[in-house]
Amino acid sequence: MAFRFLSPLHSFLIATFVLGVAAHADALELKPFKDDLFAYPATISSDTNGAYTVIDYREMRDINQRDEVPEKRVHAQYTDTSVRKVQQDLMLKTDAGDVRHVAVGKTEGAAVIVLYLHGQGGSRKQGADDFTFGGNFNRLKNLMADNGGLYLSPDFPDFGDKGAAQVAALIDHYAEQSPGAKIFAACGSMGGSLCWKLAARKDTGGRINGLLLLGSLWDDSFLASPAFKRRVPVFFGQGSHDVVFPVANQEAFFRSILTKTKTYPTRFVRFETGTHGTPIRMVDWRGTLNWMLSKAP
């Protein structure tokens, strides 16, 4: 048997590659945080190889039993407010305007960045509230802080081009501070308009790594966007009783993505009997983001 000896340079390059792959894999899987409390209730049905799932949501259990004061203050076991030690209320001056935002975690050298873009009537404070929406924003804040990540909840002037420009400037700033970070935008309700605009822009469409639409709207132009061409994973969470954005429309859009590209990385979770705000309360941030990290371009 003949043995071929590698040069020191080749050995070094191979070792560096192997260690780099291992470190990359380790860095991009979020560790558990109160997973038992935030796990989805029972699955009613699923199809499309599990990409589409119907979850058994019940207001009595998932709001009234979970909250100390329904819709205003969750029971204490669902939160850990020590994360506020790494929370800042900041102002970023950009060419698109001043962007006030809450930042939680590492503002430099972050492994992952998650933005939450609020809906009509909201503000940066909604995405930083530890006690509303069943403590789900507190969980997201802790997941970012515990995993070397950064969470951003900004204000913006509108859901049009000006708002998109300011959010894009915010993303650009923090992407430069954390060049290795995967970047995910989560959009609640009308905030979804900004998600689709970010996907369509040449700069952010080429930079973001995933979109989460929570009780939000659809946009057929996404199918021609830079983000779609990069196969950026998309998650949809929708309540079956959402009267603002009907679930049937969002389901049809989800299926249109798979019709265009059968293997496209997209998932849809339907919360049966859930209403407009249900997906923000119920989305499993860790499970969803870990799936996105495994599929991100």
Look up residue 44 and give its two tokens: 């009613």
For residue 128, what are the CA distances in angstroms to 83, 102, 131, 140, 188?
Answer: 11, 7, 9, 9, 14
For residue 118, what are the CA distances in angstroms to 24, 49, 216, 243?
Answer: 31, 31, 10, 18
48 DSSP assignment: G
Mean pLDDT, residues 166-170: 98
**Cβ neighbours of residue 42 under 8 Å, at least 6 residues apart?**
55, 56
One DSSP character per residue, 57-71 reads: --HIIIIIITEEETT
Mean pLDDT across the chain: 93
Per-residue pLDDT, 45? 98
Decide if 241 contacts 275 (C-beta within 8 A). Answer: yes
- Show the domains of the chain with their CATH numbers: 38-295 (3.40.50.1820)
The model's confidence at residue 13, banded by pLDDT at 50, 70 and 90, is very low
At residue 17, does pLDDT exceed 70?
no
No. of H helices and E strands in the chain? 11, 12
The model's confidence at residue 28, banded by pLDDT at 50, 70 and 90, is confident
Decide if 198 contacts 176 (C-beta within 8 A). Answer: no
Specify the pTM.
Answer: 0.91
Query: In whole angstroms, what is the distance from residue 199 CA to residue 58 CA?
Result: 33
Of the listed ranges 2-11, 132-141, 158-167, 234-243, the least confidently predicted one is 2-11
7 DSSP assignment: P
For residue 273, what are the CA distances in angstroms to 58, 62, 99?
Answer: 7, 11, 36
pLDDT digits (tens, 9 = 90+) for 55-112: 999 999 999 999 999 999 999 999 999 999 999 999 999 999 999 999 999 999 999 9
